[in-house]
Structure 1
């Protein structure tokens, strides 16, 4: 099987707010838009938002905010991404933090309630993983 793309569909009544948030603050572009669906892309990432009342909504997903889901966007330079996002007016709920498990990251909620982590993989703190290794 050869995949052409992969992306989450966030079911939310806040299509316009999500579209505006992701395009203005994170540099995504609208690829397709209808009154019930918005498909967005940036280099290396695609995502979509769908109205909960459209007949094509898949069975099961409830409108966000959902529980237990986050959307990870890995970048080459998290500090630069943080400054760029803040300059565009993004309010971060989790400030730029170097995590001992090997990530430099920051996070925020989008208008649908989706938790978004912007991460850069870095070296973990010395000895961090030792406590998880078994002999």
Structure 2
């Protein structure tokens, strides 16, 4: 099977606010939009079309059975960037909520977290060198 796309579909009445959050702070573009649905694509790099993300209003009749409105629990959306400090400064200056400060983690990530209008925690990460020996405790022989 060839998978053409794979994206989270987040059910929320704040689908337009979520759209604006990702367009403003992460450079996504609207690929499709209706009163009940928004489909976003990240900036392509010339070889792929980039990341994709969708939001659906819970009241539309096409809503499949089961997905209640997202309540903010059980999901983190990780966005890997080249420069987490620059992303932090830009989002902070723009007034995005910062729910975890910019931190260099021992396992090899510089990261911070924000939260979108649908309640999704967005973990913005940059890969950096881990602290010497950090991963040794997790290696098996």
Match of 2:12 in 1: 12
Q: How many residues in Structure 1 have an aligned counterpart in Structure 2?
A: 135
Match of 1:41 in 2: 41
Q: Is there any run of 5+ residues in structure 1 with no aligned partner, and where? A: none
Deviation at 1:48, TM superposition (A): 0.6
Match of 1:115 in 2: 121
Contact between 2:72 and 2:121, CA under 8 Å: does it hold in 1?
no
Deviation at 1:81, TM superposition (A): 1.5
> Which whole-Å CA distance do the structure 2 matches of 1:47 and 1:16 have between them?
13
> Which whole-Å CA distance do the structure 2 matches of 1:61 and 1:128 have between them?
39
SS state at 1:21 partner: helix
Distance 1:87 1:66, change over 3 A: closer
**Alignment RMSD (CA, Å):** 1.5
Q: Is there any run of 5+ residues in structure 2 with no aligned partner, and where? A: 44-49
Residue pairs, 1:1-135, within 5 angstroms: 1-43=1-43, 44-135=50-141
